[in-house]
Homo-oligomer: A and B are copies of this chain.
Amino acid sequence: MSQINVALIGYAFMGRAHSNAYRQVSVFFTPALTPRMKVLCGRNRAKVEHAARQYGWDEASIDWRDVIARPDIQLIDISTSGDSHAEIAIAAAEAGKAVICEKPLARSLAEAERMLAAVRTARVTNMVCHNYRRAPAVMLAHQLIGEGVLGQIRHFRGTYLQDWLVDPSAPRSWRLDRAKAGAGTLGDIGSHVIDLARFLVGEITDVTGALDTFIRERPLPDDASTKAPVTVDDAAAAVVRFANGALGTIEATRYATGRKNHNRFEINGSLGSVAFNLERMNELELYLASDPAAVRGFRTILVTDPAHPYIKAWWPPGHTIGWEHTFTHTVYDLLEAMATGTPASPSFEDGVATQRVMDAIERAAAARNWVTL
């Protein structure tokens, strides 16, 4: 079992979740490559040093370029805000490092394509962190669909609902500034729905829909007496068509009062259906039309059995896992891809494909028509 050295750039919410994944993956799994938590990077020296100690990184650094240049680093993890993804990822690729990047991959389709070109040219392992693919229940749904258990897919119904912008006095953070965030709700959480749609159903070919910004200015985080414009979408809703003939709806919002992390999808096929909700992430609902008529119904599968994806590594049946575990699974699969030289998934190519759908929804909403991808 050989070891690779990881550098993580960003130590906020996502950096904390990724750190946990690197710390836990070798304890519960036995990846062919063991990650060494080498360097944590950030802009504020005191803070990054504190975070490095707290999360278990060997070193702290305030210069990501320097870190990328180090020959002892094999994997760069980009958990920064969206406006630095491209620069860091391209530099990492050019330095021959494997790279995993938080979603959405980029602030625009063009930017995402440049990132993809860089990793292709460099032929480095690359991954975009759509961690929800690795919820065991989602992976189980993917397996069932792959095995044909649902038959021909007719419908995808995906929503990602949160409510943290309902309060008009919530501050105008960087996430609400297009220059910094690239996209709003559509990018931040809508991208997850799109990624799941692609992962589970297939490519999207046509979109129509709307974006909306309900509250158009908000107080600045540092100065509540000054208001600044909200330049991203608060909510997005789309009707989409898939290459395989399925019809879909996609919605993302930060104004669904009471919904905290309601990343829910339902998929209807000619032979069965599945439904998933991240707020009950240890469960998958499954309906099989082949069950006898008198005893048909949606089964609530508690996805904690050794027969389920990733679960053998954790606890006995009935012992649930949490949100953070999806990152551990993601990192595990990334390490396996690096060890075997096979492509990681979702790759930057997937990231570009998702970005293309987001871009099409934005264009469709602006032009008020359907857009074919």
Contact = CB atoms under 8 A, between A and B. Distances in A.
Interface of A: 13, 17, 19-20, 23, 26-27, 54-56, 140, 143-144, 150, 154-155, 157, 159, 161-164, 166, 208-210, 212, 214, 235, 237-239, 241, 245, 247-249, 251, 253, 255-262, 266, 268-273, 278-284, 286-289, 291-302, 304-308, 314-325, 368-370
Nearest to A212: B247
A369 B143 CA distance: 36
A247 B54 CA distance: 43
B154 A255 contact: yes
Contact of A257 (B143, B166, B269, B304): B269
Contacts of A283: 297
A205 to B, nearest CB: 12
B298 A258 contact: yes
A43 to B, nearest CB: 22
Contact of A369 (B159, B299, B321, B370): B370
Contacts of A248: 237
A248 B239 CA distance: 11
B286 A268 contact: no
Contacts of A322: 282, 319-322, 325
A293 B325 CA distance: 22
A154 B298 contact: no
A184 to B, nearest CB: 14
Contacts of A369: 208, 368-370
A256 B281 contact: no
Contact of A235 (B247, B269, B325): B247
A208 B302 contact: no
Contacts of A208: 208-210, 239, 368-370
Contacts of A258: 268, 272-273, 287, 289, 296-298
A157 B320 contact: no
B140 A262 contact: no
Contact of A210 (B17, B239, B260, B308): B239
Given A210-B241, A297-B300, A279 B159 contact: no
A253 to B, nearest CB: 6
Contacts of A287: 257-258
B299 A295 contact: yes
Contacts of A278: 318, 320
A319 B274 CA distance: 22
A286 B295 contact: yes
A298 B251 CA distance: 20
A89 to B, nearest CB: 25
Contacts of A299: 291, 295-300
Contacts of A314: 324
A245 B214 contact: yes
Interface centre among A17, A144, A209, A319, by most chain B C-beta atoms within 10 angstroms, is A319
B323 A319 contact: yes
Contacts of A140: 294
Contacts of A23: 23, 27
B301 A296 contact: yes
Given A23-B27, A239-B239, A320-B322, A159 B162 contact: no
Contact of A295 (B144, B237, B251, B296): B144
Given A294-B308, A299-B299, A154 B214 contact: yes
Nearest to A211: B247
A370 B150 CA distance: 33
Given A258-B272, A320-B281, A301 B305 contact: no
